[in-house]
Structure 1
Amino acid sequence: MSYVKPTELVQTVIDAGASKVMLSTRDTLIRSIMGGAVLTIAAAFAVTITVTTGMPLLGAVLFPIGFIMLYLLGYDLLTGVFVLAPLAWLDRRPGVTLGGILRNWGLVFLGNFIGAFTVAVLMAIVVTYGFSTPPNEVGQAIGHIGEGRTVGYAEHGAAGMLTLFVRGVLCNWMVATGVVLAMISKDVIGKIFAMWMPIMLFFFMGFEHSIVNMFLFPSGLLLGGDFTIMDYLIWNEIPTVLGNLVGGLVFVAIPLYFTYGRPTSPRRVRAPKRTRATGATEPAAAEPATARV
């Protein structure tokens, strides 16, 4: 059967999380570099569609192409391992430690940034003819995105920071759902359709994705956007990463694990006892099963 039921799905997700934590440094970096690059070239694609057609919805509909390609190829995103690795730790998989999870997150963050920044430089070359002309329409749009999502939040102070954080939370609720849904079908068409839905939603709603932003903001700086590196870090990347972490854990990993992933111990059977009158034995009584913590 193509459809994977939630109980089986969660075990598959846990297996994937354990394998991510145990992956070698070399393979983790390669897969995360390529994951960041594929996702962000799709972000450039979506911005290009929006600018050239004037239809943001069409850009959102087609953006999931990048997410789908990278997960079908087994590449990694920080927003994905924010969910996969903790599930393996909650399940007490051998070798999965908090130190191993933090190592995995750090390597994936680094790899995603390398991939995203590489695409940012390549796209800046494309939209400026090798920095020999001012940015074209697409380049100008990317620069303005960087301004709106840094200085724009800063103008609102604490309320802007709260909004930024919540957009990061909502983003990875959807993205992490897409990561999990990638495993809910055993055929390619089913995987594609399942992943498409939440990714399209997050992109059109303008939620904040830390890896996409690793492309948009360096691109904006390269293309003359009116903001600084510190604006990018303080008023976008750092709060977005934290929001993505909270969203993935609170809205995806923890609910799935505690409703579908916690196995129960076998029912213990009490020894039979004799009745006083006949000396016969009563049927054994089973103790209630207890959930493993």
Structure 2
Amino acid sequence: MPMTSNALDIGARSPYAMAELGEQVALSKAGKAPAKTFALAIMAGIMIALAGVFYTTVSAGSSALPYGLAKFIGGISFSMGLMAVVLCGADLFTSSTLITIPVATRKVRVATMLKNWGIVYAGNLVGSLLMVAMIVYTDQWHGGHGSIGSSALYIANAKMGHSFGQALVLGILCNLMVCLAVWMSYSARTASGKMMAMVLPVAMFIAAGFEHSIANMYLLPVGLAIKAIAAPEFWGEIGKTASSFSNITFDNMIWKNLVPVTIGNIIGGGIMIGLFNWGVFLKKD
């Protein structure tokens, strides 16, 4: 029985059609006015930071659960952020690395791509830090008798404890999964299909402890702020002291995390997903 046009409309896109759509999306991102790009990047930073709040809250007091299960639940909660970014059309640096595709097809100049990345990265940082300020100001981290703040500190301390090389590789692995999630969403024609495609890749990178530069723009500064301003009563509640989280420093945040993770994210998304799919599906013989 021949397929109707409606059946064709709801079917998944082929890998070739996904690559063509991926190029169109990247072209659209690269072609927007800088002011609009910056505004959409702030929006994305807020969305990813909210996912970080969700992840930190869900992870609070999770010691009663098996380690893997607790990480999986946290990863599912964090996937909310990428869903919001994709469905609302916000500009996220890690997925903007896919602009390497129209660069490879010679429809976008390298300088244009780098300018876009700079604007998006700055906007993501602004959105993330706005959320840090709101969460710290509202004392949300005191919830659960300090367990939310404790969760934030443990997460930040672990992330700032990597060597430069470890953070670089973890950044590659992370954006391999993030851009894979975005790429898989191109196969779907419905909002629900896009959301389902993104859940498990995001849950995987969170559960495995991979490093996402924009998520870390929230997760690391909020840990740094809590460590700096927490009163003795808070440390008494969680049974720790500020010295228990010795990895949390401004220098470690920049040089042992954000710098190498950002480089790794570019490699994992722009090269391993973007240029790979360009070479397989779009490059002319």
Is the aligned partner of 1:251 residue 2:251? no
Give the secondary structure class of the aligned counterpart of 1:4: coil
Q: Which structure: greater helix fraction?
A: 2
Give the secondary structure class of the aligned counterpart of 1:63: helix
Is the aligned partner of 1:220 residue 2:220? no
| Counterpart residue number, 2:97 | 82
Opposite residue 186 of structure 1, the aligned amino acid is R
Give the secondary structure class of the aligned counterpart of 2:89: coil
C-alpha offsets along residues 89-131 of structure 1, whole Å, 9 cap, x if unaligned?
Answer: 11122xx1111101100000000000111111111123368x9
- Deviation, structure 1 residue 53: 4.4
C-alpha offsets along residues 211-235 of structure 1, whole Å, 9 cap, x if unaligned?
Answer: 0100011101110164322211001
* Preserved CA contact (<8 Å) 1:39 1:212: yes
Is the aligned partner of 1:176 residue 2:199? no
Q: Distance in 2 between matches of 1:68 and 1:188?
A: 9
2:74 paired residue among 51, 59, 75: 59
- Deviation, structure 1 residue 136: 2.1
| Counterpart residue number, 1:284 | none
Opposite residue 274 of structure 2, the aligned amino acid is A
Is the aligned partner of 1:148 residue 2:163? no
Q: Percent identity?
A: 25
Gaps of 5+ in 2: 1-7, 64-69, 228-244
1:52-131 matched pairs, under 5 angstroms: 52-54=61-63, 55-83=70-98, 85-93=99-107, 96-127=108-139
Q: So what's the TM-score if we normalise by structure 2?
A: 0.83
Q: Distance in 1 between matches of 2:140 and 2:215?
A: 21
2:189 paired residue among 175, 186, 191: 186
| Counterpart residue number, 1:267 | none
C-alpha offsets along residues 65-99 of structure 1, whole Å, 9 cap, x if unaligned?
Answer: 1210121000011100111x110111122xx1111
Q: Distance in 1 between matches of 2:74 and 2:204?
A: 11
- Deviation, structure 1 residue 52: 4.0
C-alpha offsets along residues 240-288 of structure 1, whole Å, 9 cap, x if unaligned?
Answer: 000111111332112211111124xxxxxxxxxxxxxxxxxxxxxxxxx
Q: So what's the TM-score if we normalise by structure 1?
A: 0.81
* Preserved CA contact (<8 Å) 1:127 1:138: no
Q: Distance in 2 between matches of 1:251 and 1:207?
A: 16
Is the aligned partner of 1:18 residue 2:23? no
Task: Tell which has more relative contact order, 1 or 2 (C-alpha 8 A, sep 6+).
Answer: 2
Give the secondary structure class of the aligned counterpart of 2:138: helix
Gaps of 5+ in 1: 154-159, 264-290
| Counterpart residue number, 1:238 | 259
* Preserved CA contact (<8 Å) 2:128 2:217: yes
Q: Distance in 2 between matches of 1:213 and 1:82?
A: 17
Runs (4+) of structure 1 exceeding 4 A deviation are none
Opposite residue 67 of structure 1, the aligned amino acid is L
* Preserved CA contact (<8 Å) 1:140 1:223: no
Q: Distance in 2 between matches of 1:200 and 1:168?
A: 15
Greater Cα radius of gyration, structure 1 or 2: 1
2:146 paired residue among 125, 136, 140: 136
Opposite residue 236 of structure 1, the aligned amino acid is N
* Preserved CA contact (<8 Å) 1:76 1:108: yes
C-alpha offsets along residues 32-90 of structure 1, whole Å, 9 cap, x if unaligned?
Answer: 1011111111111011111144433211122101210121000011100111x110111
Q: Distance in 2 between matches of 1:253 and 1:222?
A: 36
C-alpha offsets along residues 131-173 of structure 1, whole Å, 9 cap, x if unaligned?
Answer: 9x9x8221122123222222x22xxxxxx22211111100000
